[in-house]
């Protein structure tokens, strides 16, 4: 186990990423699209001008309908996308198997009670790794969306954890370079998920056959849905050298997964996430600051992006706030154990009040 030292004086220039699904047409479970379709491949041209250089992918964002294609067709389409990325100066950050859509995964993918459906999930995962490899992308993300249950009695949880670990080991064996980044989420679409927090993900990493290649991606909203502080979750992963990426956003209480703008519900919570990332030197090894934010349904336009640029600029303002925070005064207040004063000082600093 290796704990990273606090680095108070880093001056990382952050690189930002998002996934094409973050530019959406506004459909939600209760209503259809409210904005004209913005074609998937036109999105790449938006990244750089908006200040982003990393692209997060689902496997079928790279190769639509990859289920119906031959391996050669998959590789051909992937190399077209690779060229488009290169032309735009973009880096593919990760590819995630979209295992929550297909009919075969209604009861889970790797933890399904059906052996046939588990075999489907493995086959799809191999395709996803092949796509990542052909894109020259070093990581796949496992958002274990349906690895859980709608009623807990329907699955044997101990067996489910074994199956997840077996899958992780199979992936590590299938490709000797690829990293696995687990994105924990406690619920939705299932009632109860098997890897609800980063603690669970880190435990899976250490239990795997190559712990160095198994890491985590922490989404703010997912931590909050688990009733946890997102900055503490990030700190835990960083303390184990296991924070590969983040999905910064926000969440207003315990309800559906909202993917609100970063800092939109809790500015102080956002400040603390930035502080933890800064202090650990996150980004200095090339890690991206990923956003997973959803445009408001009320927003008009063709290819709406304000939620992305606003979240990015809020992050950068908070970097300034972290860097200009008076560490000496902080140390004195901590020494005096005057946490009332510390709290007021933080709030005034955030408000820009002397």
Residues involved in catalysis: 58, 61
Q: C-beta of 143: minimal distance to ligand XUL in Å?
A: 4
Give whichever of 20 and 283 is closer to ligand XUL, judged by the CB atom.
Answer: 20
The item of ligand XUL, Mn ion, none sharing an interface with residue 198, based on CB under 5 to 8 Å by kind, is: none
What's the CA gap between 15 and 51, in Å, rounded? 8
Q: Three-state DSSP class for 352? A: coil
The item of Mn ion, ligand XUL, none sharing an interface with residue 96, based on CB under 5 to 8 Å by kind, is: ligand XUL
The item of ligand XUL, Mn ion, none sharing an interface with residue 278, based on CB under 5 to 8 Å by kind, is: none
Give whichever of 274 and 322 is closer to Mn ion, judged by the CB atom.
Answer: 274
HEC per residue, 150-197: CCHHHCCHHHHHHHHHHHHHHHHHHCCCCEEEEECCCCCCCCEECCCC
Q: Three-state DSSP class for 19? A: coil
Give whichever of 93 and 219 is closer to ligand XUL, judged by the CB atom.
Answer: 219
The item of Mn ion, ligand XUL, none sharing an interface with residue 233, based on CB under 5 to 8 Å by kind, is: none
Which residues form the interface with ligand XUL (CB under 6 A)?
58, 96, 143, 183, 185, 219, 247, 257, 292
- What the block records as the tokens of 253 is 């209480």
Q: C-beta of 119: minimal distance to Mn ion in Å?
A: 27
Q: C-beta of 101: minimal distance to ligand XUL in Å?
A: 11
Neighbours of 193 (CB within 10 A): 24
Q: C-beta of 175: minimal distance to ligand XUL in Å?
A: 20
**Whether 51 contacts 325, CB under 8 Å:** no
The item of ligand XUL, Mn ion, none sharing an interface with residue 260, based on CB under 5 to 8 Å by kind, is: none
Is residue 292 involved in binding Mn ion (CB under 5 A)?
A: yes
- What the block records as the tokens of 239 is 């303390």
Q: Which residue is nearest to ligand XUL (CB)?
A: 143
**Whether 184 contacts 200, CB under 8 Å:** yes
Q: C-beta of 247: minimal distance to ligand XUL in Å?
A: 5
Is residue 219 involved in binding Mn ion (CB under 5 A)?
A: yes
Q: What are phi and psi of 159, to 5 degrees?
A: -65, -40
From residue 220 to residue 259, the character string flagging contacts with Mn ion as x (rule: CB under 5 A) and all else as - is: ---------------------------x------------
Give the chain's radius of gyration (CA, Å): 20
**Whether 44 contacts 324, CB under 8 Å:** no
Neighbours of 10 (CB within 10 A): 15
Q: Which residues would be at the binding site for Mn ion (CB under 5 A)? A: 219, 247, 292
């Amino acid at each position: 186990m290796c704990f990273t030292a606090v680095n108070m004086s880093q001056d990382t220039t952050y690189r930002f990423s998002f996934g094409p699904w973050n530019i959406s047409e506004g459909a939600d479970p209760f209503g259809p699209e409210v904005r004209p379709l913005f074609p998937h491949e036109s999105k790449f041209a938006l990244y750089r001008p908006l200040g982003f250089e990393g692209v997060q992918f689902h496997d079928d964002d790279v190769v639509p309908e990859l289920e119906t294609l031959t391996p050669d067709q998959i590789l051909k389409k992937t190399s077209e996308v690779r060229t488009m990325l290169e032309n735009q100066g973009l880096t593919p950050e990760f590819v995630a198997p979209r295992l929550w859509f297909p009919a075969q995964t209604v009861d889970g993918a790797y933890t399904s009670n059906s052996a046939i459906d588990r075999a489907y999930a493995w086959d799809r995962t191999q395709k996803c790794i092949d796509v990542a490899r052909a894109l020259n992308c070093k990581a796949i993300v496992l958002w274990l969306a349906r690895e859980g249950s709608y009623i807990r009695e329907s699955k044997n949880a101990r067996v489910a954890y074994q199956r997840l670990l077996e899958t992780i080991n199979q992936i590590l064996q299938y490709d000797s370079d690829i990293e696995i980044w687990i994105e924990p989420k406690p619920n939705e679409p299932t009632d109860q998920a098997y890897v609800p927090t980063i603690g669970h993900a880190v435990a899976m990493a250490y239990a795997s056959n190559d712990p160095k290649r198994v890491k985590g991606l922490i989404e703010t909203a997912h931590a909050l849905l688990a009733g946890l502080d997102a900055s503490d979750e990030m700190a835990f992963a960083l303390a184990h050298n296991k924070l590969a990426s983040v999905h910064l956003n926000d969440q207003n209480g315990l309800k559906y997964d909202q993917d609100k703008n970063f800092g939109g519900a809790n500015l102080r919570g956002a400040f603390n996430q930035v502080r933890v990332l800064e202090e650990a030197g996150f980004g200095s090894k090339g890690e991206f600051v990923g956003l997973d934010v959803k445009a408001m349904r009320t927003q008009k336009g063709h290819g709406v992006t304000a939620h992305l640029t606003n979240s990015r600029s809020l992050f950068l303002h908070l970097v300034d706030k972290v860097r200009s925070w008076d560490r000496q005064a902080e140390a004195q207040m901590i020494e005096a154990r005057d946490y009332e004063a510390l709290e007021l000082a933080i709030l005034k600093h955030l408000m820009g009040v002397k």
